[in-house]
Structure 1
Amino acid sequence: MTAWKSILAATALALASSTAAFAARTDVVVGVVLEPPHLDPTAGAAAAIDEVVYANVFEGLTSIGPAGEVEPALAASWEISDDGKVYTFKLHEGVKFHDGSDLTAEDVKFSLDRARAEDSTNAQKGLFAQIDSVEAVDPTTVKVTLKQPQGSFLYNLGWGDAVIVAPESAEGNKEKPIGTGPFKFDNWAKGSSITIVKNPDYWGEAVALDKAEFRIIPDAAAAVPALLSGDVHAFPNMPAGDALPQIQSDSRFEVVIGATEGETVLATNNKKAPFDNLKVRQAIAHALDRDAIMAAGSSGLGTPIGSHFSPANEAYVDLTGTYPLDLDKAKALLKEAGYPDGFKATLKLPPPAYARDGGQVIASQLREIGIELEIIPVEWAQWLEQAFKGKDYDLTIVSHTEPNDIGIYARKDYYFNYDNPDFDKVIAELDVASDQAKRNELFKQAQEILAKDAVNGFLFQLPKVGVWDAKLEGMWENAPIQATDLTGVKWAD
């Protein structure tokens, strides 16, 4: 009897210890599909950068919340002049960078001036184009004067590209990021994982997690067993593939199908023959079967789109019927364009399934109208160098996950090589409009112009397939910005 009592007591103690250990758990392993090229969100276009460091390591004057709303961040408050051109920001006091240096108005001035400089390497330099001057009024006050009113200015400051960095550490942020966020960079095991840890000196509300590891798992073949075994606790964007129904039926996990800002497009080099011919682009649009492409590239999830705009936005217009699936019409347009027998071109495909798998389907569909595509798989670093920076491509597939980014089509140096003065005029009006009804009308006009011009093959809005341990709280359902914000994540007691 005494022996049994001892065993039962030991068992109870072990269970209590196990329960206490679980209740006290403060680490999480997050699976991510792509490894970022570096960790400086102010010097790169890859969404994988923001997925790790946005809101966690780096902060801006404002931030984008889980519902897409603008929230205060490093700026405790702001005032806007009557003419809409002068923004005066009051910074939180006592904010320190992770190296122990104080955040001051001079750091804000440095960051904004650096982002908009002529030699800026910021991938979203256009966000800062309307800034005329930045003045550090005193250590906690910054005055930003715009060239003209800009309705989206506070929203723009919430992008990852607009985070605040210090001049002393800015150049080293690619490998060793130093921000002001609630987490600090700890380690990057290249090809494997990136680890961040709790910042004990954080100026704001402390996070619940002591450590978070972003483990790089590029495909479903590895992601599914990692999740089922407990090696990974959460996939904000899981490459579940055909295993999704199995995971959905497992009570250990929560599966949330949310929305992203990811307009997935067959990006087209509009100044390269034969794609500089509108009829060729229209022919391609008529040959695309979006449902089949989604079935292959996103497990049938997502929402078809006919222009570069999120269906979740109140200004969205369904333009999928602009060029309905019609192979005979597509062939006729190619003939009118001078290509009765079609032509050959290249299709560069980055790693995600929506590109690699969707690309195979698109190649098959375009073959039906005489367009023979040579498929060229590329890694993200190659894609960024060749397609995005070098404009060395015919066609490619990518999901543009930046928030509300229809204005990229007005950029003369952007990789689409698109140029339409009518579109530029609409975007120029949008930049200065602050009335939401007026902005929505302009957004609609912009969508219609892009659809009519068949600038790209507009495919579908990338779904956010979130899967995580059912005991994990605070993960975002939707992705209004390309981020894995862990600031509110914790394990349930």
Structure 2
Amino acid sequence: MRLARRLAALTVTSGLLATACSAPATGPAAPAGDAFVIGLGSEFETLSPVMGYAPDGGSLIYEGLMAREPDLSVKPVLAAAPPVTSGDGRTVTFTLRDGVRFHDGRPLTSADVEYTYEAVLEESNNSPIRGDYAAIEEVDAPDARTVVFRLAHPYAPLVQRTTLGIVPAGAPLTGDRPVGSGPYRFVSRIPGDKIVLEGSKDHRDGAPAIGRLVLAFAEDDNVRATRMSAGEFDAAILPPRAAARFEGQPGLTVHKVPSADYRGIMFPLGRPVTGDRAIRRAFSLAIDRKAMVDTVLAGAGEPAFGPVSPATSWHNPEVTGSPAADPEAARKALEEGGWAPGEDGIHVKDGVRASFTLMYPAGDSLRKELALAVASDARKIGVDVRLAGLDWDAIEPRMSQDALIMGWGSPYDPDYVNYELFHSSYAGKGFFNPGRYGDPEVDDLLETGRESGDEAVRRKAYRDFQKIVRDDEVWTYLVFLKHVYVIRGDYRGVRPGVDAHEHATGGLFRDIHTWKPAP
């Protein structure tokens, strides 16, 4: 079925940024009993894949055509085999596994796949992930087991994008009572508190050894650590310093998982101070990233200088710098940019003080500590950074005025996230490109990287993109994190990989249905 559509401006909901939100109640939760309880720092905005829930395969309720392995490769799940791609790269054909059923007993067919992707692409649905699938012109289901994607242009990451969970045809987009085909079925949800799941006894891989899961939400890092210590959680995701107390404790295992997840400072580029490249350049030179890794991250991370992790093959090695601060070079950059020291030691240009507000989410102890370190380093070179710890509802409307410690990053493909963060068409669209950056050359490079089927062309485009963004000092990148998971008990089948920014029930928990208690 051909869809008439155009690429809509993408407004990201706070749920995609892993912020705490609420949703309609679905009735009281079942008693947890002997459930395995996971402490998460953020609640899901929705449980509908169409509306942005776990599109990269982090769901335990749904399954995609493909799934991601810890080493970042993809394998068939609902698909019976890898897809067949036409010579021109514009037709991709999947054959579905036979005999798959949804949790309510309905057979899963190509019509459900067609419905899911068309619902994402239908402009009136306003899916926040619609832009990621814009290359798709048409989805066909010629028979019950065949799905054909017809593309407007070759799109190299398409197969990776097919980790999107499949919903039954005609399913409501609210996700209030989700029905999937994954290893766990939905039981109940209490907004702001928890989601209860139970293992699907009819799943083709058999019932999970961990038969009942509770996803408990606690936005504050210290609260999560306290509840983990008190035995309320069987596992939790924690910042490194909060997890340090669990190192070496009997019956607990701490996993430090590499990621492409970075923390950096987003600057509103339309403001007198943060819009000045000299300020941003001096700021980057003044930051002691090594000290941040050593202290704030307790060694669980690496210095960051750009949006593409050096751990991936897409990284441009020219995009680097000194992990230690260089205050002399920072002061020189300020002076060359026309900023002179004022009477109070803060630089001034044309009567404007080098002073701005830096926001961070109040419950995020790691971002708070990074913000404190940033403000201290900036003060040493005569830049005044005023800190504001706020909730996400207060942060979002201020992003065009005030700087923000943000987190993003994906190891999958450089098209992921970067297109929306730096392409001018997304300027000011929610949490994507909130600083309103726009550069025609960057736009062209991102479009080339997205539309070319030639890997060599794509690699050059993304290398050049990284260099320009670094030279423009659009952000000040601080650190790449290692995600820290604390698990109570000894389980076989725990497979650390490489995490993206949004890990939630993905990351280390992506295949918790295969975990088995150690004998």
Seen in structure 2, the aligned counterparts of structure 1 residues 112 and 98 have a Cα distance that, compared at 3 Å, is: same
How high is the TM-score relative to the length of structure 1? 0.83
Structure 1 Cα separation of the partners of residues 80 and 181 of structure 2: 14
The CA RMSD measured in Å over matched residues stands at 2.9
Aligned to 1:8: none
Structure 2 counterparts to residues 389-468 of structure 1, below 5 A: 391-403=399-411, 404=413, 405=416, 406-408=418-420, 409-410=422-423, 412-413=425-426, 414-434=433-453, 436=455, 439-468=458-487
Aligned to 2:515: 489
2:289/2:324 contact within 8 Å kept: no
Other structure's SS at 2:173 match: helix
Cα deviation digits, residues 426-459 of structure 1 (max 9, x gap): 2233224455555444433322222111111111
Other structure's SS at 1:412 match: helix
Give 1:164 shift. Answer: 2.1
Cα deviation digits, residues 93-146 of structure 1 (max 9, x gap): 333333443333222222222223334533333321211211121222111111
Other structure's SS at 2:228 match: helix
1:38 equivalenced with 2:46 (yes/no): yes
Seen in structure 2, the aligned counterparts of structure 1 residues 136 and 395 have a Cα distance that, compared at 3 Å, is: same
Aligned to 2:162: 157
Aligned to 1:168: 170
Other structure's SS at 2:141 match: strand
Cα deviation digits, residues 234-286 of structure 1 (max 9, x gap): 22x32352661x42222422222211221211112234443333223212212
Give 1:225 shift. Answer: 4.5
Give 1:417 shift. Answer: 1.7
Aligned to 1:179: 180
Aligned to 1:66: 70
Structure 2 counterparts to residues 102-181 of structure 1, below 5 A: 102-158=107-163, 162-173=164-175, 175-181=176-182
The residue identity in structure 1 corresponding to 2:365 is A
Other structure's SS at 2:99 match: coil
1:377 equivalenced with 2:377 (yes/no): no
Seen in structure 2, the aligned counterparts of structure 1 residues 137 and 382 have a Cα distance that, compared at 3 Å, is: farther
Give 1:396 shift. Answer: 0.7
Cα deviation digits, residues 455-485 of structure 1 (max 9, x gap): 1111111111122134123334234342131
1:286/1:323 contact within 8 Å kept: no
Structure 2 Cα separation of the partners of residues 52 and 448 of structure 1: 27
Gapped runs of 5+ residues in structure 1?
1-24
2:243/2:486 contact within 8 Å kept: no
Give 1:335 shift. Answer: 4.4
How high is the TM-score relative to the length of structure 2? 0.79
Structure 1 Cα separation of the partners of residues 283 and 275 of structure 2: 13
1:255 equivalenced with 2:254 (yes/no): yes
Gapped runs of 5+ residues in structure 2?
1-32, 341-347, 427-432
Higher helix share: 1
Seen in structure 2, the aligned counterparts of structure 1 residues 427 and 323 have a Cα distance that, compared at 3 Å, is: farther
Structure 1 Cα separation of the partners of residues 204 and 489 of structure 2: 30
Aligned to 1:333: 333
Give 1:61 shift. Answer: 1.8
The residue identity in structure 2 corresponding to 1:35 is E
Seen in structure 2, the aligned counterparts of structure 1 residues 53 and 307 have a Cα distance that, compared at 3 Å, is: closer
Seen in structure 2, the aligned counterparts of structure 1 residues 434 and 467 have a Cα distance that, compared at 3 Å, is: farther
Aligned to 1:16: none
1:191 equivalenced with 2:210 (yes/no): no
Percent sequence identity is 24
1:353 equivalenced with 2:383 (yes/no): no
Cα deviation digits, residues 168-197 of structure 1 (max 9, x gap): 333220x33322211111122333322111
The residue identity in structure 2 corresponding to 1:36 is F
Cα deviation digits, residues 299-351 of structure 1 (max 9, x gap): 34211111101232123244331897333433443445454323332222123
The residue identity in structure 2 corresponding to 1:75 is A
Structure 2 Cα separation of the partners of residues 336 and 268 of structure 1: 20
Give 1:418 shift. Answer: 1.8
The residue identity in structure 2 corresponding to 1:445 is D
Other structure's SS at 2:149 match: strand
Structure 1 Cα separation of the partners of residues 356 and 517 of structure 2: 51
